[in-house]
Amino acid sequence: MSEDDILVVENLTKNFDVGRGQMVRAVDDVSFSVKRGETLGLVGESGCGKSTTARLILRLIEATSGSVMFEEQDLLKLPTNEMRRLRRRAQIVFQDPYASLNPRMTVRDIIGEGPLVWGMKANLDDRVAEVMTRVGLNPDWAKRYPHEFSGGQRQRIGIARALALDPTLIICDEPVSALDVSVQAQILNLLTDLQDELDLTLIFIAHDLSVVRHISDRVAVMYLGRIAELGTRDEVYERPSHPYTRALLSAVPIPDPVTERNRARTMLEGDPPSPLNPPSGCRFHPRCPIAQQVCSEVEPVLGSEAVGHPVACHFAEAIPQV
Amino acid sequence: MSLDTANRKVVLSVKDLHTDIKTENGVVHAVDGVSFDLHNNEVLAIVGESGCGKSVTALSMLKLLPKRVSKITQGSVMLGDLDLTKVSDRGMRKIRGKRIAMIFQDALTGLNPVHRVGDQIAEMILIHEDVTKRQAHQQAIRLLDQVGIPNASERADRYVHEFSGGMRQRAMIALAMALEPEVLIADEPTTALDVTVQAQVLEVLLEVKERIGSSIILITHDLGVVAGMADRVLVMYAGRIIEEQSANGLYHNPMHPYAWGLLNAMPRVDEVLSDHLASIPGAPPSLIEPPKGCRFASRCPMAEPVCEEVYPEVIRVARSSVACHFADRPDWGRALWNAEVMS
């Protein structure tokens, strides 16, 4: 664990028992670290295990194996009461601002619940007003209920709730994917500002590669429960070295008709396979445009030797950069 | 790739369409005076954020809105010489699928869960065309094959829940295109899909369109998808069209402040423009009692008193149009941006 690292995830694995003796490896041997003050983007298509990874880190579900070092302690080994204490420092913002706020609680109670649990009864209203102001909500609205707010405002409530306990780490699980683009921009700008002001560390989970590029310092690309590629924003977006990363990036439409219609596109065949029965060897090999015999037999390890940043591909160095 | 629409035949013409929807809180004027032409073999995109009326426009054209709560109060939808707003329910059944078809965001709404996928396509062919059951079934398999469903003859006997998300959208395209309609309305056809699958489905959609020579109305909130697909774009805001342009024109020279804001609020996968995105403050107005002036005025950093008072006249320049009092101001884009960054 280097000094800058606030969180180090090692060999994190989660098997879900889906009955009939079958197991889904939702997250399979995932390792990464997050530096203090940075934003790590976790990106991938549905079912790749990105949200499960978030929940495992905070122990909202229990991991099968692995370790999560946060503030010099392995979260996965902590007894419940100590885990609770650490959750003050690591918070989460959920995707759906409609489902993640209790409709029967006022905004004050939603935001104030954390501080209240931690005995900050005195000045609670001041604290609530302070975080509401910080996320751009009028503190006079504290007595209102979630249904009285728009989607963007609700997401601000979710962020205010996460901020109420002064966390150092916030995991944002698809925080803008339910929002319209103009409102999405408001929330992304807010997160950027909060991070600067409060020296926050963010793990930003999203399927939208444009949003992840905008907000992240480093990016991990996941495919079927594993990390396919991990690097700085420029490494991943300017020099993508896993064939999956490249295909993913080339599939994202660019809002410019001239660029969009003249770009070379790597079209992937088919859908991501079921994690119930992942392909042998490299999990991407059935859809990979450059797969060889070895890819179906040997699982590649995530290594930096080929291109300077970690890529899990047998032929990472062989792909010419475009 | 902007098409010269001037010489193309108009296949569908919507004039001054108004649709009201009854809600608990009052009557929502969801579509409030929408007019546009769809030309032969073009892709016309309607973009806008949730609640702007883009889906209600489409559903009104096909008369798919429940009568109990909704009403087309004014306007016409001309398909050739036929005004669809005046056609009976019975008459509409002959037009839907045959002359205008629709693809929905969620295939589970567009396809019946208790019938085999192939049977549903065959059924529609049987209703509209003089063929035997066997021929209809064969044709259904051929259609599924054409949209890239592997093993089509075996898949035709499966149910929609046995299909993946991408396969479902392909099947819905096969169903919509079965009778080679003149017009296809695609309402957020790839919104529920992963991006690699989205690319496949959009390609299939364009391919099928070229093969049968129909026109597409593409309804979406995704300006990236529009950039790759559309010849022309209508931007809707609060029940009205605020700008119409060729795709190239809109992306490179948006005229309405809302269109500008929308385009600059989107982060891009191919470059990082700035730490801050342009964001549009506030939210769209209620359409129960819409403001009398420009509906964007309360969110527009350029708004002046006249904007609150008078709805801007639609200015037509060549084949573009815009509804803004100050559309001719060259410096407003920058003004909007600065206002945003400083707020």
Q: Which of A50, A148, A180, A213 to mutate to test the interface with B (most CBs of B within 10 A)?
A: A180
Quick check: A185 and B277 CB within 8 A?
Answer: yes
Quick check: B268 and A213 CB within 8 A?
Answer: yes
Report the gap between the CA of B88 and the closest CA in chain A (Å): 37
Which is nearest to B165 in space by CA: A51, A266, A271?
A271
CB proximity A36 to B under 8 Å: no
**For chain B, what is the mean pLDDT?**
90
**Statement: residue B342 has pLDDT above 60:** no
Instruction: For chain A, positions 118-177, list CB contacts with chain B under 8 A.
Output: 150, 152
Q: Which of B191, B258, B269, B336 to mutate to test the interface with A (most CBs of A within 10 A)?
A: B269
Q: What is the pLDDT of residue B335?
A: 64
Q: What is the pLDDT of residue A2?
A: 73
CB-closest option in A180, A261, A265 to B1? A261
Q: What is the pLDDT of residues B28-38, one digit of tens each?
A: 999 999 999 99
Are the CB atoms for A163 and B256 separated by under 8 Å?
Answer: no
Are the CB atoms for B36 and B291 separated by under 8 Å?
Answer: no
**Statement: residue B108 has pLDDT above 90:** no
Q: What is the pLDDT of residue A215?
A: 96
**Could you give the CA distance from residue A24 to residue A296 in angstroms, rounded to a whole number?**
20
Q: What is the pLDDT of residue B340?
A: 53
Number of other CB atoms surrounding residue A103 within 10 Å: 9
The pair of three-digit structure tokens given for residue B248, joined into one six-digit string: 């190239």
**Could you give the CA distance from residue A12 to residue A220 in angstroms, rounded to a whole number?**
14
Q: What is the pLDDT of residues B197-228, one digit of tens each?
A: 999 999 999 999 999 999 999 999 999 999 99
**Could you give the CA distance from residue B5 to residue A322 in angstroms, rounded to a whole number?**
36
ipTM of the complex: 0.85
Are the CB atoms for B186 and B218 separated by under 8 Å?
Answer: yes
CB proximity A44 to B under 8 Å: no
CB proximity A18 to B under 8 Å: no
**Could you give the CA distance from residue B323 to residue B259 in angstroms, rounded to a whole number?**
11
Chain A residues inside the 8 Å CB shell of B252? 256
Report the gap between the CA of A184 and the closest CA in chain B (Å): 8
Report the gap between the CA of A256 and the closest CA in chain B (Å): 5
Residue of A nearest to B278 (CA): A185
CB-closest option in B194, B203, B276 to A189? B276
Report the gap between the CA of A9 and the closest CA in chain B (Å): 27
**Could you give the CA distance from residue B102 to residue B100 in angstroms, rounded to a whole number?**
7
Chain A residues inside the 8 Å CB shell of B164? 271
**Burial of residue B3, with CB atoms counted within 10 A of its CB: 0-12 exposed, 13-18 middle, 19 or more buried:** middle
CB proximity A265 to B under 8 Å: yes
**Statement: residue B1 has pLDDT above 50:** no
Are the CB atoms for B37 and B96 separated by under 8 Å?
Answer: no
Quick check: A180 and B223 CB within 8 A?
Answer: no
A101-110, B102-111, B156-165, range with the lowest pLDDT: B102-111
Segment (H or E) for B93 = helix B89-95
Q: What is the pLDDT of residues B59-98, one digit of tens each?
A: 999 999 999 999 999 999 999 999 999 999 999 999 999 9
Q: How many CB pairs (< 8 A) connect A and B?
A: 128
Hey, what amino acid is at B217?
Answer: I
Q: What is the pLDDT of residue A22?
A: 87
Are the CB atoms for A31 and A69 separated by under 8 Å?
Answer: no
* DSSP-derived pairing of the beta strands B100-103 and B183-187: parallel
Segments of chain A scoring below 70 in pLDDT: 1, 319-322
Q: What is the pLDDT of residue B330?
A: 63
Q: Which of A271, A276, A284 to mutate to test the interface with B (most CBs of B within 10 A)?
A: A271
The pair of three-digit structure tokens given for residue A43, joined into one six-digit string: 């990106």
**Statement: residue B278 has pLDDT above 90:** no
CB proximity B207 to A under 8 Å: no
Chain A residues inside the 8 Å CB shell of B270? 254, 259
Q: What is the pLDDT of residue B339?
A: 55
**Could you give the CA distance from residue B9 to residue B27 in angstroms, rounded to a whole number?**
36
**pTM of this prediction?**
0.90
Report the gap between the CA of B89 and the closest CA in chain A (Å): 35
**Could you give the CA distance from residue A302 to residue A229 in angstroms, rounded to a whole number?**
7
CB-closest option in B167, B224, B252 to A254? B224
Report the gap between the CA of A63 and the closest CA in chain B (Å): 26
Q: What is the pLDDT of residue A244?
A: 95
